[in-house]
Structures are given as C-alpha cells and as structure tokens.
Amino acid sequence: MPAVASSVRTRLADLSERFALPEGAAERLERLLDLVAAEPSAITSVRDPARGVDVHVADSLVAVELAEIRAARRLADLGAGGGFPGLALAIALPQTRVVLVESVGRKCAFLEAAVRALGLENADVRNARAEAWPAGLDAHDVVTARALAPLPVLLEYAAPLLHRGGALVAWKARVDRAEEANAAAAAAILGMSVPIAVPVEPFKDAGERSLYVSSKVGSTPKGYPRRAGMARKRPLGASTGR
C-alpha cells in the first residue's frame, strides 16, 4: 500500500474513533476523498486526499461534537459544493436525512454521482438557491454552511428553512466585531438567537476555528426569504438599520 494511502487510512481510523463513526464510515470517507481527487472540474481547491482528510473530513466531522448535529433528523447543507460538510455528515449520521443544496449544476452533478458511488440512502441533492427553495421552508432541524457567506447572510438563508427550535451551524475562522454585530441585528429581525461561537479543533494546527450556532426562537417574518440574491446584495445588520 502506498505511504500516502496508508497515512490517510490511519488518520480516518483515528477520526472514526474520535467521533464514534458507524461501521464502514472510514471506507466511505476514503472513497469520498478519492472521488474529489478524481473529479475533473474545480469543485474545491484542496483535492489531495493527504490534505483533504484534515482540511475537509476532520473539519466537517468536528460538528458531530454538537448536540444539535447529533440530534438532527433532517439537515440541509447550503452551498454543498464539493460535499463538505454535507456528504461527510451523511456518512457519519446515517439516521439523518441530509439534503445537499447547491445552485451550480456541475457541482450538483458531482454530488449526485458521489451519493450513488457511496451508496448513501440518506442523502439527496437539490439544484437550487437557498432563498429560492420553497419545498425546504420550515422543514429542517439543522442548516449547515461552510465557507459560504457572512453570518448575517447565512442567518437569512437559514431562518426560513428551519422549524422553530432548529439551528444554524456555520463554520467560521476569525469573525470581526462588525460581522458579529450585524449578525446579532439580523438574528433579531429573523427570529433567531444571537449566534454563539463554539471553538473547535478539528485537527492539529488547524488555527482559529469556530462553529457559530444560532437557534430559531420565533417565526420567520413575512417577506423572508427575500428574492434570490438580495441577502448578499443588501445584507441585514446593525449597519443597515434594518
């Protein structure tokens, strides 16, 4: 066995133990890394399995440490792109129905092929924008987003998709005070709690990493979601006065 493949398998075995993954999960995660490496289109900038096992897989699986993720029965992963965290979470949580929401057709094609290749019966792909997906409204326990948008934008994407008591879980590195202030203001408008940063360490030398968690504590106001593109063009927040 080549040294790189051996090191990836060893790392996956460690992650399986750390996160108490189900039987066969490590083999599926290895296959997922191989699919990413072999994909000819640019679905992610990190395609080498030796790096991806940490940068993608460990970084995705660290969310399993959250009670909100472990308890979820229906999860929507927004901007699912190369399959992280959505596919990794579908592998780790076979009891959870994971919907991979992606607006780019070629990325959806990869996700659909990966779902088939991995034999994931609990994962579906939706070629849609988060704010233009009526079938997803008020239907999810958790909405996840990794490297997708600023917190105020993510809150606007997530709030209409969550039922009351559900939660947004957003992967973030460093968030400045302005973004946090705008997120708090957006949360108040959208019936969400102020996002709380949960520091995580998915792998050694990962640097500053947090999962921002915001729960849906009220009803989504009328007028949300706004039409596609408005959340990014005119984000809610303290600086906008909305």
Q: Which helix (H) or strand (E) holds 212?
A: strand 210-215
Mean pLDDT computed over 191-216: 96
Q: Amino acid identity, residue 203?
A: F
Tell me the pLDDT of the chain averaged across its residues: 94
Count CA atoms within 13 Å of residue 178 on its CB side: 4
Q: Are strands 210-215 and 162-172 parallel, antiparallel or unpaired?
A: antiparallel
Q: Which helix (H) or strand (E) holds 125?
A: strand 123-127
pLDDT in tens, 127-180: 999 999 999 999 999 999 998 999 999 999 999 999 999 999 999 998 999 999
Q: Which CATH class is domain 63-233?
A: alpha beta
pLDDT in tens, 51-81: 999 999 999 999 999 999 999 999 999 999 9
User: Cα angle vertex 182, ends 176, 187, to 5°?
Assistant: 125
How far is Cα 236 from Cα 35, in angstroms, rounded to an integer? 38
Q: Amino acid identity, residue 37?
A: A
What pLDDT is attached to residue 196? 97
- Domain extents for the chain? 63-233
